[in-house]
Amino acid sequence: MDLKGVKEAFNEVVKNQEQVTSSYKEVIDQVENKIKEAIKKIKSVDHPSIDYNKSVITNLKQKLETIWPHDQRLKQSQKELNKSFTKYPKILSKFVDPDISEAYRNVDFDSGMLIVNLNFGKIIFQHGTVNQVILTSLSHEGLDDVADTFIEEYQEPDIKPFRSEFQRLQKVIKAFKAGNEVPALTMVSEYWHILEQNGSNLEFDICGLHYLKLLENGKRPDKAFKFAENHLLPFEKTHQNELNDLLGWMTLHIEPENSYRSYLLSQVKQEELVKEMTNQFFSIIGKNLLRVTIEARARALPTLLKLARAMSLNNHQEWKNMKKLPVAIDLGSEFQFHSVFVCPVTGEESVIQYMLPCDQFGNNQ
C-alpha cells in the first residue's frame, strides 16, 4: 500500500489549517487591541457623558467592521483550507473506506473458531484470542497493573506464561540500561538458536560486552579468559575481525583505531543493543497483537468491502461459509505466516509432506 499520496494530502491540510489558525489569531489580536484602546479612552475621561461613550463605541464598531470579516487574508486562507479538506477525503477513500460502520461484523471470537483466509493463508482465532490481543496490547503499552487485573478477572491460564515472560523481558532491559548485562546474557544464551535463525548478532555483542567488563574488573582475569574460550571463540568463523580486536586488547592492550571494543562500549551501541533486544525478544514472546490486527485490517478492509459490494455479500453467513477469498489480498511480508503451507499457484493447502499438482512440496514445518 503506497500511502505517499495520503501523507502529502494530509500535510497540505495541516499546513493550510496552521495558516488559517495564524490568520484568525492575527485578526483576534487586532480586535482585542481595538477594544482595549476604546476602554482606555473611556477610562481616561473623568465622568464621561453618555454621548461620549456612545461616540467611542461607534468608533470602535467602525474599526472592527474594517477588520472582520473583510480581512482578505482570512478569506484566502479559509478558501485554501476548504479546498484541501475537499481533496483529502477523495485521496483517502482510495485506500480506506470512510464509512466505518461497513466494517462491523458480529463475530463471536471465543465460541468455536473463526478462520479468515488472506492471500490463500489462514489466520485461526481460537478460544481466548481476544483476551490475548488485549493482554499483549496492555503489556506493550506498559500498563502492568491493568494487565495483572485483567488476568485476575478473566482467569485465562493460557496467557499467564506470556505475562510472566514479558515481565522477565522488561526486567532484563531495565537491568541492561542500569549497566547489568548478566540477565541479558542469560536470555540470549537461552534463545541463541532463534537469534541465529533471525541472523541477529545480539548474542555475540552481549557476550563481548560481558567479557570486556570482566577484564575491566581486573580481579579475576582467568575468569574472563575462560568466558572468552567458552562463549566467544565459537564465533570465530563469523566474527573473526571483532574477535581479533577483543583478544588483541586482552593480551597486548593494543587497540586499533575505530576498534570493535570502543564501539561496543559506546553509548550509541548500548542504545542499539537495547533496541535489538526489544525487537528480537518481542518477536519471540509475542508482538503487540492489537497493533498488528488493526494494521492488517486497515490494509485489507478496502479490498474486502469492494469485494463484498461486487459480489453482493451482505449476508454474514455467506462470509462464514466461504473457504477462501476469490482474490488474493497482499498485506506485505510482515503479515505473512507460514504455519500452513500454501501453494502460490493453485492456492492448495498442505500440512503433510506430499507433492502438490504444481510439482511443489508441502510439509508441516
* Model confidence pLDDT, tens digit, residues 244-269: 666 665 555 555 555 666 666 777 77
**DSSP alpha helix (H) spans, 265-348:** 267-285, 289-311, 316-321
Sheet strands (E) in the chain: 114-118, 121-125, 341-342, 349-350, 354-355, 361-362
Spans of all domains in the chain:
4-95, 142-285
Around 179, how many Cα atoms within 13 Å sit in the side-chain half-sphere?
A: 2
Spans of the chain, pLDDT less than 70: 1-3, 68-73, 94-129, 142, 155-163, 218-220, 243-264, 282-287, 311-320, 322-323, 332-365
Of the chain, the percentage scoring pLDDT greater than 90 comes to 3
Q: Which residue has the cell 577484564?
A: 215
* Model confidence pLDDT, tens digit, residues 62-120: 888 887 665 566 777 778 888 887 887 777 776 666 555 555 555 554 433 333 333 33
C-alpha closest to that of 352 among 341, 344, 336: 341
Q: Which residues contact 362 (CB under 8 A, 6 or more apart)?
A: 341, 343, 348, 349, 350, 351, 352, 353, 354, 356
For residue 14, CA distances in Å to 18, 20, 45, 78, 188 come to 6, 10, 47, 13, 45
Name the pairing type of β-strands 354-355 and 349-350: unpaired
C-alpha closest to that of 215 among 182, 246, 175: 246
- For 190, the grid coordinates are 537461552
What is the CA angle 197-288-131, rounded to 5?
120
- For 159, the grid coordinates are 496467557
Reported pTM = 0.44
